[in-house]
Every structure is written in structure tokens, then in C-alpha cells.
Amino acid sequence: MSETVFRSEDLPEGERFDRWRELMASTHAPMELTSEYAESYRVTRRLIELGPVVVWPVALQPVVMDRTDRLVRQSDPEGYHLSYMIGGTLGVSRARQEETEHGPHHFHSTNTSHTYRVHVRNGNSALIHGVAVELPQGSLPMPRRQAERAIGRPMTDQDGMGAMLGALLRQLAAAPTAFDLEEATRLGGVLVDLVAGMFAGVVDGGELPPEARRRNLVLRVKAFARRNLGAPLTPAMLASAHHISVSYLHRLFRDEAETVSEWIRRERLERIRQELRDPRNANVPIHHLAERRGFSHHAAFSRAFRAAYGMTPRDYRNGVGVDVERADDHRADPAPPGERSADR
């Protein structure tokens, strides 16, 4: 994954805003910038490339950004730009239209082929936090005319696909995360599907092409399962929670790398692996961590963990050997119940 960071405070005060203007003017969809705080401007932007999708968490002082006719003629990548507000207010105006205002928890979308003005503000000089997403128009798994009808419409993170998209963007904004190229491209695909699902939710009654609907339902099922890894998750329980049949749930996962049950076990193991290296869990017995994530038989958990990561949970907690990455195959059958692990 490619990630670059720009911090204006690394520069002398008099050069900060000019450098930020130059940076925004040199992007594939350039914009002109003005600000009343230009004299000693503060901004930090992380640029994260996820295949064809670009995400940039940003914290900046109030600024006005103009996408003018001249700049559209100069460079138009034919993309969609999505702004997700974490704090502050985003005022957006288009030709011959009044400004619309978007506060925290709101998304605003624009088309790089059109002109618009964006005013990021909060009433003072404090930093405003948000996340921008840029993606090619042709990347969305929906007719372009349908996507165009969603551009500029009110969207929030309060429910549905918007809630899932907001949670993912906040996670990306919280701290730098390392992804290899394959993981970054896959994550970019997830973002595209979530954006398409959110767009579809505000036009045409949420209708997406069949394959896009399938992917979005799989995303919803997985998000629900991750929130409930300690519950007695079964295919029947997941199917009931999403008002579908068990056979249809299995068909949804037919194109995934794993069956439903295999995927649940892998997610549980990965969550426990992360918790084992968390200093806050240093005094929590390993079997308690396993039980909280749905492993009621300790020997079964220990064998599944060793099959997935090549060492026992205790050795992993103690840092024995080389740290492991998430394994590609977590499908080994667990040990039968009745044995108890010595790991504590």
C-alpha cells in the first residue's frame, strides 16, 4: 500500500499555505484554494492508495476550494469525490444553485467533471477533521446514470451502507495501517461496493445490479458477524438476522474463499490473536479470551490457533519466534471437545 503524508507544520509559516495550494493544484482533479488563515496555515493530510481508489484523511483549518471551468478543462479524471465530515461544516455550491450545508456524520459527493465550490469551516481557526474518497466513475457496479442521480444528495452514516462506510473511513483515519498490495486492492473494492450501496439507497429504491446486491449483502453479513463474534454464531442465526434462508446464505458465500463457518472461525482467531498482543490483556487468561470469542473448548481453540499461526497461543503471547501475519489458510479442523489446554 502506498501512503504519503503532508504536514504544513513541517514548513516555515510563510510557506505553508502556498505549498498546500500547490499540492492541491497538482492533483488529478486540481482545485484553487483561499483561506483567511493562510499566513500560518495548518493542515495534515494522509494519502492512501487502495488500487484505483484514493482515500485521504485530513485535518485542516477553514478553507475555500474551487473547482473552476478552467481547472475542469485542464484535468478531468472522470471521477467521483466523496467527503465524509467528522467535525466542522462543509458548505457546497454549484453553478446557479444555493449552498448546501453538511455537518458531522454527513457525506457529500461531487463529480470531477462539474464545477463547484467547497467551503470547509467551523466558525474559528480550529482544525476540521474529515476523510475524502476519490474513485473512478466507471468503478461503481451500477449504471452511471443511476450514480449521477445520487451525486449531491443527502447521505449520512446513521444506518445501512452509510454506517458501514463511515465506520471503515473512521478506522482508516484513526491511525496508519499497513496493507500489502493485494489487501489494499481488496479494501479498495470493499469501499467501492459500500459507496455503490449507499448511492443506490438514495435513488431507485436502493436497486443495484444482482452481483452488486450480492456483494453488499455479504458485506452486511460479515459486518454483523464481526460485531457479534462472542455470540453463538451459526449459519442459521446469520440467515435469520438478515431475513434470508440458510441455503441462500451458503450460496452467497459460494464465491468467497471460505464457507460461512470457516470465515467465522478465521475472524475469531484473528481477533484473539490481536488481543493476545494487546498489553491491556496481559493478565487475562488465554482461555478467557478464547471463550469471549466463541471458543468454548480450550483444546479445540489451541489446535485451531496452532494450525492457523504455527505456534501455541501462549508462545504467541510471549513473543516466541518470529511474529506471524494473518495466515492464508485457517481451515484446519479443531480438536474434539473433552481436552483442556495448558495455555493460560
Q: How many domains does the chain have?
A: 2
Q: What integer pLDDT is reported at residue 116 of this predicted model?
A: 92
Burial of 22 (0-12, 13-18, 19+ CB in 10 A): exposed
pLDDT digits 0-9 by tens, 108-131:
999 999 999 999 999 889 999 999
Bridge partners of 133, per DSSP, are 55, 82
The answer as to whether 155 is a domain residue is: yes
Q: What is the pLDDT of residue 205?
A: 61
Whether residue 244 sits in one domain with residue 203? no
What is the tens place of the pLDDT at every residue in 86-107?
999 999 988 767 788 889 999 9
188 CB contacts (<8 Å, ≥6 apart)?
A: 50, 51, 52, 53, 135
pTM across the whole model: 0.69
One domain for residues 208 and 306: no
Residues 6 or more apart in contact with residue 11 via CB below 8 angstroms = 19
Instruction: Confirm if 102 and 83 have CB atoms less than 8 A apart.
Output: yes
Instruction: Dig out the grid coordinates for 254 from the structure.
Output: 459460494
- 51 shares its domain with 180: yes
pLDDT (average), residues 52-79: 94
Q: Which of 195, 184, 205, 172 is nearest to 79 (CA)?
A: 195
Mean pLDDT (the chain) is 86
CB of 32 closer than 8 Å to CB of 68: yes
Domain shared by 242 and 139, yes or no: no
The top-scoring range by mean pLDDT among 125-134, 136-145, 154-163, 238-247 is 125-134
Beta strands, E only, the chain: 2-7, 32-34, 43-50, 53-60, 63-67, 79-85, 89-93, 100-102, 106-111, 116-121, 128-136, 155-156
Give the integer Cα–Cα distance in Å for 104 and 156. 9
Identify the band that residue 208 occupies on the pLDDT scale cut at 50, 70 and 90: low
- Classify 314 in phi/psi space as left (phi over 0), alpha (psi -120 to 50) or beta: alpha
What is the domain-level CATH number for residue 268?
Answer: 1.10.10.60
The mean per-residue pLDDT over the stretch 262-291 comes to 90
pLDDT at 96: 66
Residues 132 and 24 reside in one and the same domain: yes
With 50 as the cut, is the pLDDT of residue 190 above it? yes
DSSP 3-state of 111: strand
Domain check: are 171 and 283 in the same one?
Answer: no
**Assigned domain for 18 exists:** yes
Residue 151: CATH number of its domain: 2.60.120.10
- Grid cell in block for residue 314: 501462549
Position 335 in a domain? no
If one compares 257 and 313, the residue with the highest pLDDT of the two is 313
Q: Which of 36, 28, 208, 194 is nearest to 125 (CA)?
A: 36
| Cα within 13 Å of Cα(281), Cβ side | 19
**pLDDT per residue as tens digits for the range 300-324:** 999 999 999 999 999 999 886 545 5
Residue 315: φ, ψ to 5°: -65, -40
* Residues 55 and 182 grouped into a single domain: yes
Q: What integer pLDDT is reported at residue 219 of this predicted model?
A: 84
Query: Is 329 among the domain residues?
Result: no
47 and 80 Cβ atoms separated by less than 8 Å: no
Residue 211 belongs to domain spanning: 2-227
SS3 257: coil
Q: How confident is the model at residue 326 (pLDDT cuts 50, 70, 90)?
A: very low
> Which amino acid does the sequence have at 212?
A
Residues 157 and 87 in one domain: yes
Report how far residue 85's alpha carbon sits from residue 104's, in angstroms, rounded to the nearest whole number. Answer: 5
pLDDT at 1: 58
Please name the residue that has the C-alpha cell 483444546: 299
Q: Cα–chain-centroid distance for residue 79?
A: 19
